Structure 1
Amino acid sequence: MTKNYFLLVKEKNFLYFFIATLIGVLGEGMFGLTSIVLILSKTGSAFEVGKMFVLTLFPSVILAPFAGVLIDRYDKRKIAVLCNLVRLIAILIIPVSFYAGVFTISIFSISIFFSYIAWYILEPTKESILKSILDKDHYQQGIALVQGAWQVGLLASAVIAGIVIDWIGVEFSILISGMTYLPAAIFFLLIKRPQIPLTVEQESHPFSLKKYTNVFWEGWTYFLQNKKAKFFILTTSVTLPYFYGINVLIAPFNHHVLNGTGTTLGLIDSGAGIGSLLSAMICTFLAAKMNSQKYLFASIILLGVSTVLFSLTNSVLVAFFTYIIIGFFIGNVKVLSRTLVFDFVEEKFIGRVMTTVSLLSLAQAIIMSLLVSYLADKSILFSYITISFLLIFPLLYTIMGIKAAKEAARYDQSSRKEHFFRGKTI
């Protein structure tokens, strides 16, 4: 493994991917935070914020399983470009309606509906592109660097959105967020085709419904039978609902507990970006030295502890630093669990596997958003404790994944020895 950890950035395909991700996350961070502020200002209810999150998730739950087949078969760049352009148009509907004086919650809901269908097709597409442009020795470094791009984007977006909301208004913040998807689309288009070449069978046979069904079930069978990857896939699927859970709570916590403003909300939310950026740096530089499985297990435990500590703060400054710690451990869980999935999943299945992750994540995020937003209207502290307690599930998944990986390693070693001695006998 190369000692120059940033050598990947010199590779054009990875560089274009990195920049596209950074720009896209900047837009998503601004749009997500501004949407929360918009709904909370219109309704005053955390539960309404939770319902908004459900609206962002539900359509994608239906589409996620089917998107993987298309991602594994067709030009991933073009799918990514199309998704970015759909988001651009869908999000710009909101500020245009503001300036035209016809904005309603219904228009906002339509925008959310279409923009997040595109978003949750885009995310597994990006995972598939990343897998195809990295070699095995650079999975963790590449994922960590992209995670760093995520966190720089989230950090910058939180600060920018908070200031813009206070000084110019929510409509301008949403306008900026929508416009970011145009340059992101351009950078995805610059990536040279990273898809797996079609086999002779694929080229000679049209993609019929029967063929689609076979490929779809092939992906699910692979997921269910791959014991090494299955449990780490389940762990990976928890990061999104956890992120949604604390996102639902951050604005009510800032308003009701800290008596904060849009600027303080942006400051605290940026703490998660700083923490996850630190996580990405550590995962990048220590990729060859750390035991990913044990570090993942410890990070899940410490994530729960730091979340409870955050809920007990009543100072903006303390909340900011505590949120840095939360972001650090969320970053660890995201990078390490994805690294293990990449290690144990063949490239030709990565699109279908990552859309499986997306499906599981979306379903859990719907439940999490409704649960914590309902509890938040009664007790914000109890909501945070509930989120932390639910981390028992990824802990169990990780334990079972470690066990399955060890069993597979022993089996492989035993098979190699048996093969060796058979060769000796012959």
Structure 2
Amino acid sequence: MVGLLRHHVFRRLYGAHVIHLLGNEFTFIAVLGLLKELSGSGLSFAAGTVFRFLPYVVASFFAGPLLEKWEKRRVMVVCNLLRGILVSLFFWITDAAYLWAVYAVLMMVNVCSAFFNPSMQVVIVQSVEPQSRLSANSLITGTNALMMFIGQGIAAYLVYAFSFRFNFLLDAGCYFLSLLFLLRLPAIQTPHADAKTRGFFGRLLEGFRYVKTNAPIRKVLVLQMMERVTGSYYVLLMFFILEERHQPLYLFGLLDIPLGIGGVLAGLLVSKWAELLHPRRIDALLAGALWVISISVWLMFHSGHAAIWMATTFFLAIASFSLGILSVTRLQRLADPAFLARVFSVREMVCMGAYSLSCLAIGWGTEWLKSAAIADGIAGFGIVAGVIWMLLRTKAAAFDGKN
């Protein structure tokens, strides 16, 4: 993985990614503090998640065809400049009457993210050799987890010692600092199909038809959607710790430390062993990851001990991050380069759509049920999802064998 950093394009992209990820962790816990200060209901936490991801889903619907025409470096620079300006606005929202402004800023920040993330995926595919993409994805995912570990540790301390509001300014500074790396990237264009004959809506429909007719890609997207539904446990965990257990905000932030450690370990394990395994073994591991997530969620919400919360978070992180690395790498290999931006935009749309709807359902459920009862439903879904994935892959293997 270290050899990837010798590639100047990937190294600069990676540097920008590390810096703005660190800032994201500052803002994540600070937004929770802001919502708790202005409202404090389980529905407000869920609404905060929905207003983060619903505009992301809608913007992703249009992002793919637009990104094919736009130069990727410029897109990423503009997105991080806008995100830096927007997150600094949170610092000034102090009255519950302006709760709507929190949601509005969250929406605009995530519209920018809907264009930034597929752009970054395209740059990774274009700058990294196919045989090195699993290592690249492992490095980025492991770094995501490491920044979660470092960022939440720092953010939790800042919240405990000072005020969560200063975290917003730190995040803005990280976005601006990341521009120094992005501006040094070369101009990056993408080959696209029928560029001269198809307009925006033609390319949009063509992208959806491509995904619809490509069964292997569809199955990977279904897997990622199911994982995102189980991932909505995180919103429930906010309510469980802050409202049901009445624990301080910094304790919730500290739970991201085992989450980060587990993610780093997942990146190391996948990069070392995944290439040695037969695809059918990897399919079994993906189903197993869903089952580990389910068991961890159930244990987490049926225990009152912080040590159990941390242990289950650690194992959940290994499973979730491993599933993410393997499925993204498979998607990169399956997608035609001419459709890459559109495929990843569809991925962002359906995965974040599933996550948003799940979070909204959980937020509504907390008004009527205890967290443990909702966790039972999430865990049960994850078990069934693992079985569905194995059935899909078994059916595909049988079909391939006949042909």
5+ residue gaps in structure 1?
415-426
Aligned twin of 2:24: 28
- Residue aligning to 2:101: 107
Q: Tell me how far 1:221 sits from its aligned partner.
A: 1.2
**Matches of residues 230-241 of structure 1 in structure 2 within 5 Å?**
230-241=218-229
1:259 CA drift (Å): 4.1
The CA deviation at 1:260 is 2.4
Deviation at 1:18, TM superposition (A): 1.7
RMSD, aligned CA:
2.4
Q: Deviations over 1:332-378 (max 9, x none)?
A: 11111112211211222111011111111222122111111222343
1:293 aligns with 2:280: no
CA shift at 1:167, angstroms?
1.5
- How far the C-alpha of 1:102 sits from its partner, in A, is 10
1:241-293 deviations in Å (ceiling 9; x for gaps): 443x2221222222345542222211112221111111111011113223432
Match of 2:360 among 370, 374, 378: 370
Q: 2:309 aligns with which of 311, 319, 337?
A: 319
Mark the structure with the bigger radius of gyration.
1
Alpha carbons 1:133, 1:194 under 8 Å: kept: no
Q: Which residue of 1 aligns with 2:217?
A: 229
1:135 paired with 2:129, answer: yes
Alignment CA distance shift 1:376-1:83 (3 Å): same
Please say if residues 93 and 102 of structure 2, whose CA atoms lie closer than 8 Å, have aligned partners that are also in contact: no
The 5-angstrom pairing of residues 3-402 of structure 1 reads: 5-97=1-93, 104-197=98-191, 202=195, 205=196, 211-243=199-231, 245-256=232-243, 258-290=245-277, 291-377=281-367, 378-392=369-383, 394-395=385-386, 398-399=389-390, 401-402=392-393
Moved more, 287-296 or 47-56: 287-296
Query: Quick one: percent identity of the two aligned structures?
Result: 16
Residue 169 of structure 1 aligns to which amino acid in structure 2? S
- Please show how residues 414-425 of structure 1 align to structure 2 within 5 Å: none
Residues 232 and 397, structure 1, Cα contact 8 Å, conserved in 2: no
Distance 1:356 1:286 in 2: 29
Using the alignment, how far apart are the partners of 2:384 and 2:69 within structure 1?
Answer: 33
Partner letter of residue 127 of structure 1?
A: Q
Query: Normalising by structure 2, what TM-score?
Result: 0.91
Q: Distance in 2 between matches of 1:27 and 1:397?
A: 37
Matched position secondary structure for 2:303: coil
Q: Which runs of 5+ in 2 are unaligned?
A: none
Aligned equivalents of 1:105, 1:257: Cα separation in 2 = 22
CA 1:409/1:7 → structure 2, altered by over 3 Å: closer, same or farther?
A: farther
Alpha-carbon shift at residue 231 of structure 1 (Å): 0.5
1:380 Cα offset (Å): 0.9
Deviations 1:151-198 (A, max 9, x none): 111112221221111211121012112221112233223223343357
For 1:256 and 1:133, locate their aligned partners in 2 and report how far apart those are by CA, in whole Å.
46
Q: CA deviation at 1:240?
A: 4.0
8 Å contact from structure 2 (residues 19, 175) kept in 1: yes
- Paired AA for residue 241 in structure 2: N
Contact 2:65 2:203 in 1 (8 A): yes
Determine the C-alpha separation between the residues in 1 that align with 2:334 and 2:391: 15
Kept after mapping to 2: 8 A contact 1:162/1:267: yes
Per-residue CA deviation, residues 391-417 of structure 1 (Å, 9 max, x unaligned), is 256435533552465367547xx6xxx
Give the match's secondary structure for 2:199. Answer: helix
Q: How many residues align?
A: 399
Distance (Å, rounded) in 2 between the aligned partners of 1:252 and 1:176: 26
Q: What amino acid does structure 2 have at the position aligned with 1:45?
A: S
- Go from structure 1 to structure 2 and tell me whether the alpha carbon gap of 1:13 and 1:160 turns closer, same or farther (over 3 Å shift): same
**Whole-Å Cα distance in 2 between the matches of residues 311 and 90 of structure 1?**
35
AA partner of residue 153 (structure 2): V
Farther off after superposition, 103-112 or 170-179: 103-112
- Deviation by residue 1:57-77 (Cα, 9 ceiling, x = unmatched): 222322212100122332111
Please tell me the residue identity of whatever aligns with 2:137: I
Aligned residue identity for 2:371: I
Q: Distance in 1 between matches of 2:12 and 2:53?
A: 28
